[in-house]
Amino acid sequence: MELSNLPHEQRDLLDSLRDAIVAIDEERAKELAKNIVNEKIDPNFAIKHSIADAAVKVGEKFDSGEYFLPHLVMAGDLMDEVGAILGKNIPPEQIERKNVIVIGTVQADMHSVGKNLVATMLKSSGFQVHDMGVDVPSISFIEKAKELKADMIALSSLLTTTMPYQKEVIEDLKSMGLRDQFKVMVGGGPVTRQYAEEIGADGYGKDAIDALREAKKLLM
């Protein structure tokens, strides 16, 4: 389906929903989502058009300094709510599966700012993100990734002395015979692309915006 094939009113509805999400106008976004359901617009198309476009615009606003981390969180939550309204009539077999990412700061590291930024950027860009928090042992990452059938494990580290825990996750995946099941992306202040390659990570994010680009490259 193409947007240009839709009647004007339906196109306007989809654009308005996108704009309401970008403006983080919760009430209007939910109302528009209900209208879209009532108009019987293909919900998968609506999700792709309105939510995915909104995600790009929200990311641009963060990049330009207009939006901050809490805006990303609010936009991400709103996208979930709108997605649930749009998706309630989609038969289970037609629900498009989102890419699932398990993210956290590695064991012994309590720093959350960079990880939070990456998690919210990923979530607000359409990934299903499970944030494990900080100080997360290798085995917890792996168990959660197995449980959720995740596509990627994203590991943050802000200390030179906690970077080896990123490697530990990759080594543990190998020893458990699971390395091929999950992409692994690493990042954090002292982490470099060279280090990511040395430890056998699939991807590296220099910052939140770079991490989003990398995740899309690896999973989409």
Q: What angle do CA 21, 25, 34 make, to 5 degrees?
A: 70
Among 190, 197, 217, 220, binds other proteins (CB under 8 A): 190
Which residues between 43 and 62 bind other proteins (CB under 8 A)?
A: 62
What backbone torsions phi and psi does residue 205 show, to the nearest 5 degrees?
-115, 120
Binding residue for other proteins, selected from 68, 88, 217, 220, defined by CB under 8 A = 68
Segment interacting with other proteins, rule: CB under 8 A, options 5-13, 37-45, 141-149, 204-212: 204-212
- Our CB check for other proteins shows the closer of 18 and 123 to be 123
The structure tokens 């190998």 sit at 174
- Positions 124 through 163 that interact with other proteins (CB under 8 A): 133-134, 159-163
Residue from 98, 206, 213, 216 that binds other proteins (CB under 8 A)?
206
Choice from 18, 49, 111, 183 touching other proteins (CB under 8 A): 111
Report the distance separating Cα 163 and Cα 109, nearest Å: 9
Say if residues 183 and 152 touch (Cβ distance below 8 Å): yes
Rounded to the nearest 10 degrees, the angle between the axes of helix 69-87 and helix 26-38 is 20
Candidate list 34, 52, 70, 174; residue touching other proteins; CB under 8 A: 70
Nearer to other proteins, 23 or 73 (CB): 73
Contact residues for 59 (Cβ-Cβ < 8 A; gap 6+): 121, 124, 125, 209, 212
User: Which tokens sit at 23?
Assistant: 């403006």
CB of 68 to other proteins, least distance (A): 5
Determine, following the binding rule CB under 8 A, whether residue 65 of this chain makes contact with other proteins.
yes
